[in-house]
Amino acid sequence: MDDKDVLFLHDITKMQNSCSFMKMLLAAIFTILVLTLIILISILCWFFFGPRKPEFAISSASISSLNITGSSSITATLDMVLSITNFNHKTSISYNHLLSSILHGNHTVSESHLPAIHQSIRETTIVRSMQALMATNDVMVSMFKELVMNDHLVSFNMTISGVVRLNLKPLSWMLMNLTTKLLVTCDHIQFEFKNSSFALMQGPPKSCTSWIKGLFY
């Protein structure tokens, strides 16, 4: 072996060393990519399938002080007790700009803002809302028709819309806030008139359906 050959051998080992270094680097990058992907996928899965929607129910409701003012309109007071439950173990929920609307057919007979609410995990909040009911002549006529036909029963639909902020904790060290829209509907809330100015909600507490934009359940 002359000097040239020795130099050549030295070059080959150098090349082999850098080759295995490249391999290790690639393996490391690949591992990091796979881990990141797994973490991202689990966060996404948690995000979409983890948090549950809050449950709304009307515990009780009554209509009082019914007053037929003149022949063209009717006013009354609706007293309603709502129960809102956050069943989540990890997600607290804040509710803002809540607007409850009472509808008879297509007509809104009452609208009222509810207070802002904050619910920590697994908390139930009771909200009492007193709101004015007002109906014009045509709504009044259809309500009276229903009253006569259904033996003192009249029904309403309710919707509650608003903004919710979910404080999400996909991983114990990770806190994310999601601000999105809430919609609650309670169909066919039936009231029985006890006398000419007082009606009471019929049946057991009425559960409502809620949607949170971006959540699957």
Ligand X SMILES: *[C@@H]1O[C@H](CO)[C@@H](O)[C@H](O)[C@H]1NC(C)=O
- For ligand X, the binding residues (CB under 6 A) are 65, 67, 69, 103-106, 155-157, 167, 175, 177, 187, 194-198
Taking the complex as a whole, how short is the minimal distance between the CB of residue 52 and ligand X, in angstroms? Answer: 18
Handedness of CA 99, 89, 91, 51 (dihedral sign): negative
φ and ψ of 40, to 5 deg = -60, -45
Cβ proximity to ligand X, 69 vs 172, nearer residue: 69
DSSP letter at 185 equals E
Taking the complex as a whole, how short is the minimal distance between the CB of residue 177 and ligand X, in angstroms? Answer: 4
Taking the complex as a whole, how short is the minimal distance between the CB of residue 85 and ligand X, in angstroms? Answer: 19
Taking the complex as a whole, how short is the minimal distance between the CB of residue 142 and ligand X, in angstroms? Answer: 7
Residue written as token pair 């020795």: 6
Cβ proximity to ligand X, 14 vs 97, nearer residue: 97
Taking the complex as a whole, how short is the minimal distance between the CB of residue 167 and ligand X, in angstroms? Answer: 5
Cβ proximity to ligand X, 13 vs 177, nearer residue: 177
Cβ proximity to ligand X, 31 vs 207, nearer residue: 207
Cβ proximity to ligand X, 4 vs 70, nearer residue: 70
